[in-house]
Amino acid sequence: MRFGRTSKAVGVAAVAALALSACAANTGTETTEEGTEGEATGGNIRVVEVNAFSSFNSSTSEGNVDINGKIAYATHSGFVYINNDLEVVKNEDFGTMEVLSEDPLSVKYTVNEGVTWSDGEPVDGGDLLLAWAIESGYFNDSTTDDAGEVVSGATYFDYAGDTSGLGLTELPEIGEDGRSITLNYSEPFADYEVAFGLMSEGGIDTPAHVLAEKGGLADEDALIELINTTPAGDPESPVERPEIQALADFWNTGFDTKSLPTDPSLFLSNGPFIASAITPDQSMTLTRNEDYDWGPIPKVDEITVRYIGEAPAQVQALQNGEVDIIAPQASADTVEQLEGLEGVTVEQGNQLSYDHLDLNFSGVFEDENVREAFMKTVPRQQLVDTIVKKINPDAAPLDSQLFLTDQEPYEETAANNGSDAYAEVDIEGAKELLAGATPEVRIMYNRDNPNRLNSYTLIAESAAQAGFKIVDGGLGSSDWGAALGNGTYDATIFGWINSGVGVSGVPQIFKTANGSNFNGFSSPEADALMDELIVTTDPEEQDRIQIEIDKLIWDSKYGLPLFQVPGVDAYSDNVTGIEYMPNQTGVWWNFWDWQVVQ
Amino acid sequence: MVTYIVRRLVTAVLILFGASFVVYQLTALSGDPLEDLRASNAPNRDQLIQARTELLDLNTPAPLRYFGWLAGAAKCIVPFAATCDLGSSIQGEAVTTSLSRAMGNTITLVATATVLAIIIGISLGIITALRQYSGLDYGVTFMSFLFFSLPIFWLAVLLKEFGAIGFNNFLDDPDIPPSTIAVVAIASGLIWALFASKSWKRKGIAFVLGAVVAAVLLFLLDLVGWFANPGLGPVVILVTGVGIAFGIVLLTAGLRNRKALYSSLIMVALGLVAYYVVNPVLNAATIWMIIILAVITVLVGLGVGYAMGGYDRSQSMRAAALTGLLMGFLIVVDRFMVTWPSYVSNPRVRGRPIATVGAETPGLEGTFWINGRDTFTHLLLPTLALLLASLASYSRYSRASMLEIMNMDYIRTARAKGLSERTVVMRHAFRNALIPLATLVAFDIGALIGGAIITEQVFAFSGMGQLFVQALQRTDPDPIMGFFLVAGILALVFNLVADIAYSVLDPRVRVKA
C-alpha cells in the first residue's frame, strides 16, 4: 500500500497528538481557582418579590410601590416601626420621641449622636426638618376644580402619604444640639406616634445635604435657611417658590431608577443595609451597612431580592433552592403546592385588607328593616369556608367594622357590637322582617375578581330564599371602581385596607359625606365620636371610642364585613427567623432576625 | 424594484399610523388606571387620584392624548437629533431605556431557540421527507405535534420539575440506579431503531446496538463520576472530531473526494494540537477572544483546503473550515464542562446549577467561563421550551416542500444522468426546498423581538413580553406603544424582506414594480 504525502502528514500529526494526550492525560485543561469569588461569609438570604424595584424614594406617589417601600425599610432608620402584632415599637437606638405636652400636643424628636448616612454625614436636624417639610405639605398652595385640574398654585413635594396630620403643626425649630426638632400641633392628633419617622414609610429617608446640592443650593444650611424663610403655602393667595420647586422637582423624580446609580449620594443609607448591585427587572443585592449600630442589628451579611411575578414560578424556585423566602399571591393552588414541598415552612395568616358588603342608606334599603333582613340572609360562614379556608384554615368571619382580628380590641368589640346576630343565616327572621315584601336589590361588584364573584353568588342565592329579588350588577374591573357611590346599585361588595395602626382612616369611610363613604351612612352621634377620636392621643381612649363607633355602625344596619383576605409566605429550612406579618411590609418587618442555618 | 420597495414602505408608514392609533385607544379602554385608588379608604384618597390623573393626563380624552404621544414619537424619525421621546412608564422610567433593555434580554432568550429550531426543524423535515411513511417519519411527526400542542406554560412547569429540580436533586448524589439505566437504554434503542432503515433485521440490530451503547455509556459515566466532573478530554474530542470530519465531507463533498477528507482530517489534528496550545490562553478568555479564535480557525481551514489543491478546491476549503469550526466548538464545550465543578460549588449557586427563573445568578462574579456557564444554566430550560414548541412548524414545512421537490421532473433527470444520491439531495433538492422556508424564517425573526410572552412570564425573564404584560396590567399606555412600535415596524420590515428574498431566490417569482 502506498501512502501519499498528505496522508503521511496526517498520520504523523495524529500520532503526535495521541502521544501528547497520552503523556499529558487530561492536563491540557487546567482551571484556575474560580469558585470563591463573591462569597458571603455571614450568609446571604434570597427573598422573592413580585414587583420590580423602581425608585430609591418610596414616598412619592410614583415611587410608592410595595417593593420600593421594603427596600426603603431595609436601608433607612426611623423613630418607630410596627411589629407583627400591629403595635408601634420605638427604636430608641436611632433617636427618641418625647411628648413634651399632651395639650397642646408637642412632640420632640432627637436623633442620637453617631447616627450617620453611609457617606459619613450625620443624620441631623436638617434631615428632620426636610422630612417634616415634605410630609406636612407645608408649602403646598394649590386649589383644584371639580375635575381635579389644578387651577392655581402648586403641589410641590409629590408625597404619597397623608399630609393632614403633620399639616397641623407649625414650622418647627431645630434644637440647639442640631439633632432635634419639636413639632407643635395646633390641635391634638390621634396618630402622632406614627406621623413622623415611621420606618415602614421609609423613616428618615431623604438626606438633606444631598437634596440641597441636587436642588441647586449651596449646602444643608442653605436648605434649612430656605425652609425657614419661605412663606407657608396658602391656597387663597398662591405665590411662586422657585427654589422649593427645584428641590421638589428633584425629590419627585431624581431618585427614580431601575439600575444602581453611578452617583452613590442617590442611594445613601442610614439603616442596616445598603444597595450594592441591581440588575434591572431581575434582582437587587443589599449588603450590610458597616457603620450601622443604631437599631436592630441584622444577622445576615447580604440580602438578595429577586423579582418573580408568577406564584407557581416562585414555588418552583423555592423548591429548586434558588431562593429562600417567598410571599406569593395567595391562592388555594399555591398553598396546596407549598404544603406538598419538603424542607419548606409555610405560614398562613390574614392580610390587612378585608372584603365587605355595604348596603346603601337609600333606595330599596332606605328602610332599616329591609337592611336588617338582607343582613340576616348573608351566609358569612359559608363565604369563609368556600373562599378563605383553603388558604388560611384558621379564618373566621370578620366581626368588626373597625378592627381586624389581629388587633387587640377585636375580641371586645366583636362581643359587644351585636355582630353575633348575623353569625348564622336566618332566613325565617328575614322573611318576618320583610313581611311578604319582595324588594329588588341590585348588587354591584368587580366580576373579574373571582373572590367577589363567589361572594356575590352565595349572597344572592341565600337572599333569594328570603324573597329578595337579586339583580346582578357586577361590572368589569375597568368600570366597577368608577361606579362606587354613583347610586346605580343598592348593595356593593368590595375591599378596604385597614392601616393596622392609627385611626385617621376611620372618618374617611364612616363620617357623613366623606370621600370613601359610598353608601351614605350618616350618624351625628358617630360623627361626634369620630371628631373626638381624631384628637384623642391616648391609645386606650382611642380603642374605647372606636368600640362605641363600631356598635353604632352595626346598630344602624350598615352592612357586613365579610372576611379578611388571606396571605401566605413560605421559606426553606436553610433560613430561620421569618415571621408572618399582615401589613404591607410583609416578611421584611423583622429582616434583622433572618438567619442562615449553618 | 425600487419603486416597489418605496411603495411598500409608504404603505407601511400609513399602516403604522393607523395601527398605533387603534392600539393606543384599545390600551386606554383596556382598564381603569385609577381602579385601586377609587376603592381606597386612605385619608388622602382624593389627593392620590388627582396626582395620578395629572401624571397620566386622564382628563384629556384618549383620542387627543394619542397625538401628544405621537408628537413625542415623531421626533424619533429626525435623524441624529437624539430627541426621541416615547414617553415614560407610570413609575417614571423612560420608555426608550426600558425598550432597549427588554430588547436585549429578549434577543438573548429567543435567538438561540430560534436558530436551533430552524436548524433542527429543517433537518428533521428533510430526513423525514427522504424516509416518508417510515417509523421515523411517524415518530418525528408525532413528537413534533405533541410538543406543538402542549401549552407552553405546562411544558415549562414540567421542564422545571424534571429538568431543574429533579436534575439538581440527582446531582446532589450523582448515582444512576439500574432501573434508570434500563429505561434510558430502551429509549435509546428505540430511537436508533427508528433511524435504521426499513428491514426488521436491521432495526433489531440497531435497537440492540443503541441500547447497549447507551447503557454502557451511562454506566461508565456514572462509574467515573462524570456528572460531577464532566469533560470531554482529548480522546473523546479526537474521536468525535474524526466523526465530524467524515460527516461533513460526506454531506458537502462526498467521501470520494479524498482531498476534502484529508483537509478535514488535518483540521482535526490541528484542532487537537490547538487544544493543548490554546488552553492556557483560554483562562483569560473573553467573548471577543473566542470570536477571533473562531475567525482564525476558519482562515486556517480555508488555507488547508487551498493548499490541498486539486480539481475542486472550494469543496476542500469549505469542508476544512467547517470541521475546524466544529473542532473549536468541541474545545470550547470541553472548557465549559471543566468549569462545572467550580460553578456548582460556588456559594451563590449552592449546588443547584440548573435554574428555573431569571437570566443570571445575582451577585455571581466569575470568569468568562463561569458566567457563560451561568447563562447556559439559566437559559437552558426556556430555550428548550421554545425550541420544542416551535419545531413542528419548521419540520412540517420543510418536509412538505422537500417532498414536493423530490417528485419534480428535474430530480428524476438528475438521477437519470447518474448523479450520486448525495448530489441529488444536497445540491438539487435541498437548496430548492429551502426557498419557501425563507418566508417563514423572515417572519419568525421579525416576531422574535416581539418576545415570547408566556415563556418570559413563567421563567420570570424580563424581556419585551414582560414589558408589555406589566404595562397592560397597569393600563400604562407609553410602554405598550413602545412595544407596539418595535414589534410593528419589525413585522412590516420583515414582511417586505421576505417578499424580496423570495424573488431573489426564485427567479420565477417577479416583483411587480
Q: Is B273 in Cβ contact with A20 (below 8 Å)?
A: yes
* pLDDT level of residue B426 (50, 70, 90 thresholds): confident
Centre a 10 Å sphere on the Cβ of residue A170 and count the other Cβ atoms it contains.
Answer: 12
pLDDT given at position B504: 82
Q: Compute chain B's Rg from CA coordinates.
A: 27
Q: Which has the minimum average pLDDT: A5-9, A261-265, B398-402?
A: A5-9
Q: Tell me: pLDDT of B134 over 50.
A: yes
Quick one: average pLDDT of B243-266? 90
**What is the least distance, in Å, from the CA of A313 to any CA of chain B?**
6
- pLDDT, tens digit, 9 for 90 and up, residues A169-206: 999 999 999 999 999 999 899 999 999 989 888 889 99
**What is the least distance, in Å, from the CA of B450 to any CA of chain A?**
18
A329 touches chain B (CB under 8 A): no
**A208: amino acid identity, one letter:** A
pLDDT given at position A12: 52
Q: Tell me: pLDDT of B509 over 80.
A: no
Mutate which: B45, B46, B232, B356, vs A, most A CBs within 10 A: B356
Q: Tell me: pLDDT of B265 over 60.
A: yes
Q: Tell me: pLDDT of B440 over 90.
A: no
Q: Is B92 in Cβ contact with A253 (below 8 Å)?
A: yes
Quick one: average pLDDT of B206-234? 88
- pLDDT, tens digit, 9 for 90 and up, residues A13-66: 555 544 444 433 343 444 444 444 444 456 899 999 999 999 999 999 888 889
Q: Is B339 in Cβ contact with A31 (below 8 Å)?
A: yes
Residues 312-351 of B with CB under 8 A from A: 334-335, 338-339, 341-343, 345-348, 350-351
Quick one: average pLDDT of A267-284? 94
Q: Do residues B446 and B494 touch, judged by C-beta distance below 8 A?
A: yes
**A591: amino acid identity, one letter:** F
* pLDDT level of residue A462 (50, 70, 90 thresholds): very high
Angle of helix B258-282 versus helix A5-24 axis, rounded to 10: 30
DSSP, collapsed to helix, strand or coil, labels residue A199 as helix
B284 touches chain A (CB under 8 A): no
Q: Do residues B19 and A136 touch, judged by C-beta distance below 8 A?
A: no
Residue partners of B269: CB distance under 8 A and separation at least 6: A10, A13, A14, A16, A17
Residue partners of A258: CB distance under 8 A and separation at least 6: A52, A53, A54, A278, A280, A281, B93, B97, B98
CA distance readout (Å), A485 to A368, A471, A482, A491, B313: 19, 17, 8, 10, 85
- pLDDT, tens digit, 9 for 90 and up, residues B144-163: 899 989 888 899 999 999 99
Chain A partners of B40 at a C-beta cutoff of 8 Å?
497, 516
A60: which strand partners? A159
CA distance readout (Å), A328 to A50, A325, A366, A451, A593: 7, 10, 42, 17, 21
Residues 235-294 of A with CB under 8 A from B: 253, 256-258, 277, 279-285
pLDDT given at position A28: 42
B234 touches chain A (CB under 8 A): yes
Residue of A nearest to B272 (CA): A17
Centre a 10 Å sphere on the Cβ of residue B437 and count the other Cβ atoms it contains.
Answer: 19
- pLDDT, tens digit, 9 for 90 and up, residues A199-232: 888 889 999 999 999 999 999 999 999 999 998 8
A565 touches chain B (CB under 8 A): no
pLDDT given at position A97: 93
Q: Tell me: pLDDT of B240 over 90.
A: yes
Of the two residues B8 and B1, the one the predictor is more confident about is B8
B109 touches chain A (CB under 8 A): no
Chain A partners of B339 at a C-beta cutoff of 8 Å?
31, 34
Q: Length of chain A, please?
A: 598
Q: What is the enclosing helix (H) or strand (E) of A344?
A: strand A344-359
Residue of A nearest to B93 (CA): A257
Q: Do residues A499 and B43 touch, judged by C-beta distance below 8 A?
A: no
Residues 442-481 of B with CB under 8 A from A: 457-460, 462, 466, 470, 475
Q: Length of chain B, please?
A: 513
Distance CA B159, CA A313 (A): 12
- pLDDT, tens digit, 9 for 90 and up, residues B294-324: 999 999 999 999 998 777 888 899 999 999 9
Q: Is B365 in Cβ contact with A38 (below 8 Å)?
A: yes
Q: What is the pTM of this model?
A: 0.88
In total, the C-beta contacts within 8 angstroms joining chain A to chain B are 258
Quickly list DSSP for B124-155.
Answer: HHHHHHHTTTSHHHHHHHHHHHHHHHS-HHHH
A496 touches chain B (CB under 8 A): yes
Measure CB to CB from residue B358 to each of A277, A302, A306 and give the nearest one. Answer: A306
pLDDT given at position A459: 95
Q: Which three cell numbers stand for residue A448?
A: 373579574
Quick one: average pLDDT of A390-402? 92
- pLDDT, tens digit, 9 for 90 and up, residues B395-419: 999 999 999 999 999 999 999 999 9
pLDDT given at position B434: 87
Q: Do residues A226 and A217 touch, judged by C-beta distance below 8 A?
A: yes
Distance CA A436, CA A441 (A): 15
Q: Compute chain A's Rg from CA coordinates.
A: 29
Chain A partners of B357 at a C-beta cutoff of 8 Å?
306, 308, 313, 316-317, 322
pLDDT given at position A39: 44
pLDDT given at position A36: 43
* pLDDT level of residue B241 (50, 70, 90 thresholds): very high
A48: which strand partners? A306
Quick one: average pLDDT of A89-114? 92
**What is the least distance, in Å, from the CA of B108 to any CA of chain A?**
15
Q: Which three cell numbers stand for residue B175?
A: 448515582
Q: Do residues B281 and B331 touch, judged by C-beta distance below 8 A?
A: no
Mutate which: A66, A281, A356, vs B, most B CBs within 10 A: A281
Residue of B nearest to A256 (CA): B92
Distance CA A15, CA A9 (A): 10
CA geometry: angle at A543 spanning A537 and A549, to 5°?
A: 110
pLDDT given at position A32: 44
B378 touches chain A (CB under 8 A): no
- pLDDT, tens digit, 9 for 90 and up, residues B43-82: 888 888 888 888 888 888 889 999 988 888 888 877 766 6
Q: Is A148 in Cβ contact with B53 (below 8 Å)?
A: yes
Q: Do residues A307 and A328 touch, judged by C-beta distance below 8 A?
A: no
pLDDT given at position A31: 45
Q: Which has the minimum average pLDDT: A6-10, B49-53, B111-115, B276-280?
A: A6-10
Q: Tell me: pLDDT of A8 over 80.
A: no
Quickly list DSSP for B245-295.
Answer: HHHHHHHHT-TT-HHHHHHHHHHHHHHHHHHHHHHHHHTT--HHHHHHHHH
B270 touches chain A (CB under 8 A): yes
